[in-house]
Amino acid sequence: MLSLKEMSEVRLTADSPGYVSVWEIEEDLYDFSNVINKKYSEVYFDFVFCFRALYTTRGFRSKVRFEKDCNCLGMDLIMSLDEFNPYKNNVPMQRRIMGKHFFPFFAENIKKYRNKLPVLKPIEKDLVEDMRLFLIENLWLPEDSGSFKLAVIENVSYDRAMTLFGRPKQKKFTDTDNGKIQDILWEVDEQTQLSARYRLIDKVWTLESYNIAEG
């Protein structure tokens, strides 16, 4: 088993104004450390991802480099803040924007560095695919069908649902003979609404039902 010092990890930083959720959304990627250490113990370096949503991208470009002093592969991704501005209050759409830019950037640079970092050569395709599947589960990317996996709400906690879908459009609390319930409505995108009912069981909000309405 790897010692803590030997385990690879994902490290994150960001450069964006506080009215968008780039800092919060990127934290999803911390959990990819678990994938790396479970399947790719031969990887001896860390991944450092920086997401920049800038007022202007003029004079800036995305870049990647391996830093020997910190033993890390750094990926610095430039995005235009103009893409985020229409969705300042829509966390799912901001997550999709980040996924649209991040995944091809990640895949391209893992391929680029497979010769510079030979440990990547035999695992390149699997590592990229695992990242794709991870991003699908976290709603950064659509499934092969083109739809986003909103049914993930079945498998996540109430707090995680709030993180994934952001501030609800509606939230209603009701006292019933069987305890408190909470009805929530999210506008995921222009065509999709997600509604969910949670019941308070042993002081934990537990999903009772949900519905995805499109069109």
- Give me the CATH number covering residue 170: 3.30.1450.10
For residue 144, give the 3-state DSSP assignment. Answer: coil
- CA separation for the pair 127, 125 (Å, rounded): 6
Q: Residue 121: pLDDT above 70? A: yes
- Percent of the chain clearing pLDDT 90 (strictly above): 95
Does residue 144 form part of some domain?
no
**Residue where one domain finishes, among candidates 137, 164, 199:** 137
**Residues 31 and 113 reside in one and the same domain:** yes
Residue-wise pLDDT tens digits, 27-47:
999 999 999 999 999 999 999
Q: Residue 74: pLDDT above 50? A: yes
**Residues 60 and 161 reside in one and the same domain:** no
Does residue 122 form part of some domain?
yes
Give the relative orientation of helices 124-137 and 32-39 as an angle to the nearest 10 degrees.
Answer: 150
**Residues 128 and 171 reside in one and the same domain:** no
**Residues 198 and 121 reside in one and the same domain:** no
Phi and psi dihedrals of 210, rounded to 5?
-155, 165
| Banded model confidence at residue 7, pLDDT cuts 50, 70, 90 | confident
Does residue 52 form part of some domain?
yes
Does residue 1 form part of some domain?
no
User: What average pLDDT does this structure show over 170-199?
Assistant: 96
Q: Residue 88: pLDDT above 80? A: yes
Does residue 193 form part of some domain?
yes
**Residues 20 and 70 reside in one and the same domain:** yes
- CA separation for the pair 52, 22 (Å, rounded): 8
**Residues 160 and 65 reside in one and the same domain:** no
- CA separation for the pair 89, 91 (Å, rounded): 6
User: What average pLDDT does this structure show over 2-8?
Assistant: 59
**Residues 19 and 91 reside in one and the same domain:** yes
Does residue 5 form part of some domain?
no
User: What average pLDDT does this structure show over 148-154?
Assistant: 97
**Residue where one domain finishes, among candidates 137, 158, 184:** 137
**Residues 130 and 160 reside in one and the same domain:** no
Instruction: Name the residue range of residue 209's domain.
Output: 150-214
Of residues 156, 138, 123, 108, the one with CA closest to residue 38: 123
**Residue where one domain finishes, among candidates 107, 137, 167:** 137
**Residues 33 and 125 reside in one and the same domain:** yes
**Amino acid 83: pLDDT:** 97
Structure tokens at 91: 């966390």
**Residues 124 and 199 reside in one and the same domain:** no
Domain count, the chain: 2
**Residues 26 and 131 reside in one and the same domain:** yes
| Banded model confidence at residue 202, pLDDT cuts 50, 70, 90 | very high
Does residue 2 form part of some domain?
no
Does residue 98 form part of some domain?
yes
Mean of the per-residue pLDDT values of the chain: 95
CA-CA distances (angstroms) from residue 198 to 50, 66, 91, 178, 205? Answer: 35, 46, 21, 12, 6
**Amino acid 215: pLDDT:** 81
**Residues 127 and 174 reside in one and the same domain:** no
- CA separation for the pair 55, 103 (Å, rounded): 22
Cβ partners under 8 Å of residue 72, min gap 6: 11, 45, 46, 47, 48, 66
* Residue 187 contacts residue 179 (beta carbons within 8 Å): no
Q: pTM for the complete prediction?
A: 0.93
Report the alpha-carbon angle 190-192-197, nearest 5: 135
